[in-house]
Structure 1
Amino acid sequence: MANKKSNKTTYKKQKQTSSFIFWVIGLIAVCIIGLIFLSNGKSETAAFDYTDQPVLGDTSAPVQIVQFGDYKCPVCKNFEGNFFPHIQENLIDTGKAQFYFMNFSFINVDSIRSAKFAETVYKELGNEAFWKFHKLLYSKQPDDPKYEKIDVFTDKFLEETLAEIVDDSDVTKVVHAFKANSSEKNWKKDMSTANRLNVTGTPSIFVNGEKFTGNTFEDLEQMVDEAAKEK
């Protein structure tokens, strides 16, 4: 009887030890998964390099909004004309957010050509000239959806568009740099960022590294306000 009791006690202790080890291993696994999840979240938020990017807004603004766009995209034209003015008035001008434009050129060769030309304007003439050209280029996008399949933003068209906002010497400067492919690096940087974030269409909006999935300006404003509180 004594031996049976001893064996029973030993088995019970072994069972308790095994259960304890199981739960410890489980807890460690949960912690590891949690750390991986947090790490992935941080890398997603830190995926943007804002240096050498066209920007609007106060440098002290707590929130960064990024738009990925294609100058050939009709939805981007609509965004520029109808959605962006609300961003400008309520988020940029109020100091709530900075606004960046990055290229995701996916429609056709015009998309790439116009993106690289705009990047060259930024590189050679600065931030202010870029935004003037950016706005003008979208305003000149033809309304006929069929134009997406043909070349419209030719070298000549881009030069003539730029000539509407700067003098001849600046146009010559930009054209020379454009033909020398000086904006290739910056354009590739934008495309690499877009691909890393799985951007599939335009316009795509990110707020402090998180993708905006709402539909209205009020949705975006709420997301910006929440992002500001997390700073």
Structure 2
Amino acid sequence: METENNITGRRALLAGGGTIAFGGAVAYFASRSESGGQEYVPDTFHTSEETTGFGVELAGRPIAGDADAPVDIYYWTDYLCPFCKQFETETLPDVGLDYVDAGQARIITLSYPNIGEYSTPSAVWGRCVWEQVADTDPAAFWRWHGAAFDAQSESGHDWADEERFTSITEQTEAVSVADVDACRQDRGDAIRESIDTDIATAQSARIQGTPGFVLYNRESDVAGKIVGAQPYDNFADALDRVREA
């Protein structure tokens, strides 16, 4: 995927106004063997019912990190997206350690189903897993989340179906398949509406694919955009610039 990095005022970003490039907008195709291939599980979590200054609705979305962290990382993803898996294995573990676990940023996982037929159902699975464990064992969501990306097939997106996601859920400690299925039945329509909201927010920031990111300094109202599976150095540079703006 072609990558794009920009920093701008929040209102300009939403309006499609002028931007200042982060620099180094290069595609990143490092193999898993070039990293530790770690699965990131955050140290801290919280829930929120607020809508942020950038216009992102937080209710029902997985949030990792300190509620008082100065920078929000809005992360639009699709469980069928191979570039998202690349970000998860190559970049997220170090970003999580150096920024999220260190209290400098919090990451909000948002849905942007755009790859295949099972993209939206898989997003509903993820939201329902979070709803079941957010108050009791939020780390279980991230274990499930990592397992979902690990299940990706190199041959395409046909691997994703009800049987595969049921198996992922059954094998994730502290996640009840029965409870998740009940959520999918009872709350599926509402969750799909919230996913539509995530997509609309992404598109207003001119993000049209996954993985896509907006980095938002809540105090200064400055935002930066990153698109694509960027290496850690690019991501850290962008975070530092937004944090210091």
Instruction: Give the TM-score range, shorter chain.
Output: 0.7 to 0.9
CA distance 1:186–1:130, shift in 2 (3 Å): farther
Aligned to 2:181: 175
* 2:241 counterpart letter in structure 1: E
Q: Please say if 1:93 is aligned against 2:101.
A: yes
**Contact 2:10–2:54 at 8 Å: present in 1 too?**
no
Offset at residue 71 of structure 1 (A): 0.7
Aligned to 1:164: 171
Aligned to 1:11: none
CA distance 1:194–1:42, shift in 2 (3 Å): closer
Cα distance in 2 between the residues matched to 1:216 and 1:157: 30
SS in 2 for 1:212: strand
Offset at residue 213 of structure 1 (A): 5.8
CA distance 1:155–1:222, shift in 2 (3 Å): same
* 1:100 counterpart letter in structure 2: I
Offset at residue 39 of structure 1 (A): 8.3
CA RMSD of aligned residues (A): 2.5
CA distance 1:41–1:95, shift in 2 (3 Å): same
Q: Please say if 1:75 is aligned against 2:83.
A: yes
**Contact 2:211–2:227 at 8 Å: present in 1 too?**
no
Give the TM-score normalised by structure 2: 0.69
Offset at residue 136 of structure 1 (A): 0.8
* 2:114 counterpart letter in structure 1: F
Aligned to 1:16: none
Q: How many residue pairs get matched?
A: 189
Aligned to 1:212: 226
Cα distance in 1 between the residues matched to 2:91 and 2:9: 33
Q: Percent identity?
A: 21
CA distance 1:213–1:183, shift in 2 (3 Å): closer
User: Which of 11, 32, 40 matches 2:11?
Assistant: 40
> Where does the alignment leave 5 or more consecutive residues of structure 2 unmatched?
1-7, 16-52, 217-222
Structure whose residues are more often strand by fraction: 2
Cα distance in 2 between the residues matched to 1:153 and 1:101: 20
Cα distance in 2 between the residues matched to 1:43 and 1:100: 18
* 1:210 counterpart letter in structure 2: G
SS in 1 for 2:91: helix
**Contact 2:69–2:103 at 8 Å: present in 1 too?**
yes
Q: Please say if 1:225 is aligned against 2:240.
A: yes
**Contact 1:119–1:186 at 8 Å: present in 2 too?**
no
* 1:220 counterpart letter in structure 2: F
SS in 2 for 1:205: strand
Structure whose residues are more often helix by fraction: 1
Aligned to 2:19: none
* 1:133 counterpart letter in structure 2: W
> Where does the alignment leave 5 or more consecutive residues of structure 1 unmatched?
1-36
User: Which of 131, 144, 148 matches 1:133?
Assistant: 144
Aligned to 1:188: 196
Cα distance in 1 between the residues matched to 2:95 and 2:173: 26
**Contact 1:57–1:93 at 8 Å: present in 2 too?**
yes
Offset at residue 52 of structure 1 (A): 3.1
Deviating above 4 A after TM superposition, structure 1's stretches of 4 or more consecutive aligned residues are 42-45
Offset at residue 90 of structure 1 (A): 1.2
Aligned to 1:12: none
User: Which of 47, 53, 65 matches 2:61?
Assistant: 53
Cα distance in 2 between the residues matched to 1:42 and 1:80: 25
Using the TM superposition, name which of 190-199 and 42-51 deviates more.
42-51
Give the TM-score normalised by structure 1: 0.73
